[in-house]
Amino acid sequence: MSTQSDSSISSNYRESPLLRHIETQMGWTDHEAWKKSLLDVLALSDLRERILEEPDRPADAESRLRQVSTLESFFHGGLLPELEPIYKKVRIHHAENKRDKHHELTDLIRHLDQTKNSDSILLSTRSGAGKTVAARKAFCDCVVPAPGAAQPTLAQYLPCWIEMDGTGADHDPLIETLILRSCGFEDQLTIDGLQLWLKHPAVRLLLFFDLNA
């Protein structure tokens, strides 16, 4: 992968080097990517397993299931036409100021952007409370518009899901290395090339780390 010229760099994910990474994380690329995308959303993963365990299921059950059980249908509706979205927003409040509340992670990210606040966000709660699902929803909101909307809520960002497998004291701690590894760029782009791309004002990376993974 070569870095784009300064004049052609775009904030549109479809025109960015992250296109393949985003499509894979959303489960759009192939059957295996779709199955993997469900693992962080237990409601979808459980639905798939239950349907496939039915003894009288149609032969094409899994392919038909793939058409409706996607991250965007889970978060924005469309799993079945007559059903409301299954996803229920995970409310967030500041650890030290419980009056500082937001309906979900997407709202908090948008609030920080609007107030020019570049702080990172650490979600902390009990296991199974919805931290990873909230992050997946925010990732989805970078690339999929909500029903009736012309643009995704967080369209100004390019989302990147950082894979933490194999990271630790014996590995390169540079964030750039994690980006290259997670996006599959290690053999295509140097750290210097990545840093040059990241400096462009049109590139606003939104990094997601699942520390429980």
Q: Answer whether 172's CB lies under 8 Å from 125's CB.
A: no
Name 1's Cβ contacts closer than 8 Å, sequence gap at least 6: 17, 185, 188, 189
pLDDT at residue 112 greater than cutoff 80: yes
Check residue 159 and give left, alpha or beta (phi > 0: left; psi -120 to 50: alpha): beta
pLDDT of residue 7: 45
pLDDT band (50, 70, 90) for residue 14: confident
pTM higher than 0.85: no
Predicted confidence (pLDDT) per residue in 115-155, tens digit = 999 889 999 888 878 899 999 999 999 999 988 899 999 99
pLDDT band (50, 70, 90) for residue 84: low
Q: What residue segments make up the domains of the chain, in order of their start? A: 9-209
How buried is 145 (Cβ within 10 angstroms: 0-12 exposed, 13-18 middle, 19+ buried)? Answer: middle
Predicted confidence (pLDDT) per residue in 114-125, tens digit = 999 988 999 988
Residue found by looking up tokens 């009736």 in the block: 148
pLDDT of residue 134: 93
